[in-house]
């Protein structure tokens, strides 16, 4: 099969630039400063810039001093448009999200301001793109698209919710237990990025890219996307149950975080790949400087960190109690009776291992010592229980709660809570490898 044709590179450059430049011309011709780009416009910018970028890359434009800036401009439009598309989606969908407290007016205002900042960056780049196309003698379309070609996505109507499906109750509870646990794991892991006051530019430059970068954010984006996919595939909402509001609230938290992380990923990719100075010289440095003069790297970083990172962490954090409640309402529970750590009791190591098992699953587990109950997720609580156990010379205790944690606690108790008789750590069974 012949993958090549007789059309010259220059002719194809005109073909692959046409719709892209028609969009760019539309952007340049917009006179209303209050006009907010629609998702359809962003989608068109994404697809046309992407196919042009691929075409240019296929022909080696990244390593050609005549074409590299045109190529970099197409990448600029693509990544800014990807960020804007996700941001516009958040704003379009926000009224359909369910949150426990109505305290997100500041978020909506800042989300809109962020969208306008990114949109203005595209508008700044548009005339430069036309100028570069003319320099390369690429044909400019006679006119841009008509305004009516890019309608907004919403209308005055909403379709009736007339599917009231249900799932097997036990299976539903099993899926909710797993999804809520996975969400809590992400919350716990993401907490390393927590901050309460917005960062100044120096702190942001210390963070990016060494501690916070596209690779890290894409990992969390994938984890949240997998949780959302599991929810949409295996949890079926009914339209009139009290529990349904909780499920909608939970989905709202990980859905909005997913889209915020999409924005962050696009911005960080653009910064790291196209604006960040990694020591290139001559042509590449000149191109990077030209882009930096056009699109302010400080603004890109500020929005990636002080908007995206901040609100991703905040929405994850506010969803934590909700996920814990759903988990504890749906998990399978039981009670087990086990011995205490021989000779040394619940001192630091066994207490820590017990707490880590309970925290790993996220469900509630109580340590029962005669008539007293202690939180098995708390090392301090377990050690308090240890004092009572030692004082009253108790040899057997009970754990009550999340069956998944109880199964692992039974395994842990079977190896004397990971210690030999003189208190030295021993290898744990493979089922408890996550404790290492």
pLDDT at 184 over 50: yes
Query: Which spans in 94-213 are helix H?
Result: 105-135, 169-190, 201-207
Question: What pLDDT does 244 receive?
Answer: 80
Domain end marker among 104, 119, 150: 150
Question: Does 309 reside within a domain?
Answer: yes
Confidence of residue 276 (pLDDT cuts 50, 70, 90): confident
Do 324 and 185 belong to one domain? yes
Q: How many CB atoms lie within 10 A of CB 236?
A: 17
Percent residues over pLDDT 90 in the chain: 79
Do 4 and 145 belong to one domain? yes
Do 269 and 301 belong to one domain? yes
Domain end marker among 108, 124, 150: 150
Q: Note down the domain range covering 89.
A: 1-150
Do 199 and 271 belong to one domain? yes
Higher pLDDT, 287 or 132: 132
Flag the least confident range among 105-109, 242-246, 334-338: 242-246
Do 254 and 302 belong to one domain? yes
pLDDT at 135 over 80: yes
Question: Does 161 reside within a domain?
Answer: no
Question: Does 155 reside within a domain?
Answer: no
Do 131 and 191 belong to one domain? no
Question: What pLDDT does 343 receive?
Answer: 82
Do 371 and 323 belong to one domain? no
Question: What pLDDT does 237 receive?
Answer: 59
Q: How many domains does the chain have?
A: 3
Question: Does 77 reside within a domain?
Answer: yes
DSSP 64: -
Question: Does 319 reside within a domain?
Answer: yes
Average pLDDT over residues 275-289: 73
Confidence of residue 242 (pLDDT cuts 50, 70, 90): low
Do 10 and 72 belong to one domain? yes
Question: What pLDDT does 240 receive?
Answer: 44
Question: Does 156 reside within a domain?
Answer: no
- pLDDT tens-digit profile of 375-395? 999 999 999 999 999 999 999
Do 320 and 184 belong to one domain? yes
Average pLDDT over residues 125-143: 97
- pLDDT tens-digit profile of 200-241? 999 999 999 999 999 999 999 999 999 999 999 888 655 545
Confidence of residue 3 (pLDDT cuts 50, 70, 90): low
- CATH number, domain of 417, equals 3.30.1340.10
Q: What is the rounded CA–CA span in Å between residue 120 and residue 295?
A: 10
Question: Does 267 reside within a domain?
Answer: yes
Average of per-residue pLDDT values in the chain = 91
What is this structure's pTM? 0.89
Per-residue three-class SS string for the chain: CCCCCCCCHHHHHHHHHHHHHHHHHHHHHCCCCCCCCCHHHHHHHHHHHHHHHHHHHHCCHHHCCCCHHHHHHHHHHHHHHHHHHHHHHHHHHHHHCCCCCCCCHHHHHHHHHHHHHHHHHHHHHHHHHHHHHHHCCCCCCCCCCCHHHCCCCCCCCCCCCCCCCCCCHHHHHHHHHHHHHHHHHHHHHHHHHCCCCCCCHHHHHHHCCCCCCHHHHHHHHHHHHHHHHHHHHHCCCCCCCHHHHHHHHHHHHHHHHHHHHHHHHHHHHHHHHHHCCCCCCHHHHHHHHHHHHHCCHHHHHHHHHHHHHHHHHHHHHHCHHHHHHHHHHHCCEEEEEEECCCCCCCCHHHHHHHHHHHHHHCCCEEEEECCEEEECCCHHHHHHHHHHHHHCCCCEEEEEEEHHHHHHHHHHHHCHHHECCCCCECCCCHHHHHHC
Do 325 and 340 belong to one domain? no
Question: Does 316 reside within a domain?
Answer: yes
Average pLDDT over residues 262-274: 96
Do 201 and 317 belong to one domain? yes
Do 29 and 123 belong to one domain? yes
- pLDDT tens-digit profile of 339-368? 999 888 899 999 999 999 999 999 999 999
Domain end marker among 93, 123, 150: 150
Question: What pLDDT does 324 receive?
Answer: 94
């Amino acid at each position: 099969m012949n993958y090549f044709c007789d059309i010259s590179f220059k002719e194809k450059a005109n073909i692959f630039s046409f719709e892209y430049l028609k969009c760019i011309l539309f952007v340049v011709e917009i006179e209303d400063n209050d006009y907010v780009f629609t998702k359809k416009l962003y989608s068109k910018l994404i697809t046309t810039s992407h196919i042009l970028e691929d075409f240019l890359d296929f022909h080696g434009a990244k390593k050609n001093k005549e074409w590299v800036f045109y190529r970099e401009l197409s990448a600029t439009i693509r990544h800014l448009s990807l960020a804007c598309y996700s941001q516009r989606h958040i704003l379009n969908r926000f009224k359909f999200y369910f949150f426990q407290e109505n305290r997100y007016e500041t978020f909506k205002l800042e989300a809109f301001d962020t969208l306008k900042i990114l949109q203005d960056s595209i508008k700044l780049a548009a005339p430069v793109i036309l100028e570069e196309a003319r320099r390369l003698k690429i044909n400019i379309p006679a006119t841009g698209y008509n305004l009516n070609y890019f309608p907004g996505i919403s209308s005055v109507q909403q379709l009736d919710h007339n599917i009231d499906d249900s799932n097997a109750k036990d299976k539903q509870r099993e899926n909710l237990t797993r999804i809520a646990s996975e969400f809590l794991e992400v919350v716990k892991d993401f907490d390393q990025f927590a901050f309460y006051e917005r960062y100044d530019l120096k702190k942001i430059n210390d963070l990016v890219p060494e501690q916070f970068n596209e690779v890290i954010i894409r990992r969390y984006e994938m984890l949240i996307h997998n949780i959302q996919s599991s929810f949409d595939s295996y949890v079926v909402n009914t339209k009139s149950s009290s529990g349904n509001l909780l499920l909608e609230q939970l989905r709202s938290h990980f859905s909005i975080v997913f889209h915020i992380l999409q924005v962050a990923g696009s911005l960080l990719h653009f910064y790291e790949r196209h604006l960040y100075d990694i020591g290139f010289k001559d042509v590449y440095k000149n191109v990077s400087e030209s882009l930096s003069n056009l699109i302010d790297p400080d603004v890109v970083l500020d929005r990636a960190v002080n908007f995206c990172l901040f609100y991703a962490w905040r929405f994850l954090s506010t969803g934590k109690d909700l996920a814990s409640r759903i988990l504890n309402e749906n998990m399978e529970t039981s009670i087990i009776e086990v011995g205490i750590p021989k000779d040394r009791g619940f001192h630091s190591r066994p207490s820590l291992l017990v707490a880590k098992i309970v925290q790993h699953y996220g469900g509630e587990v109580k340590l029962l010592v005669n008539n007293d109950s202690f939180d098995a997720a708390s090392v301090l609580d377990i050690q308090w229980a240890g004092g009572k156990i030692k004082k009253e010379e108790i040899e057997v205790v009970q754990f009550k709660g999340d069956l998944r944690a109880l199964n692992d606690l039974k395994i842990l108790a079977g190896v004397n809570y990971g210690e030999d008789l003189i208190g030295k750590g021993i290898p744990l069974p493979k089922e408890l490898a996550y404790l290492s």
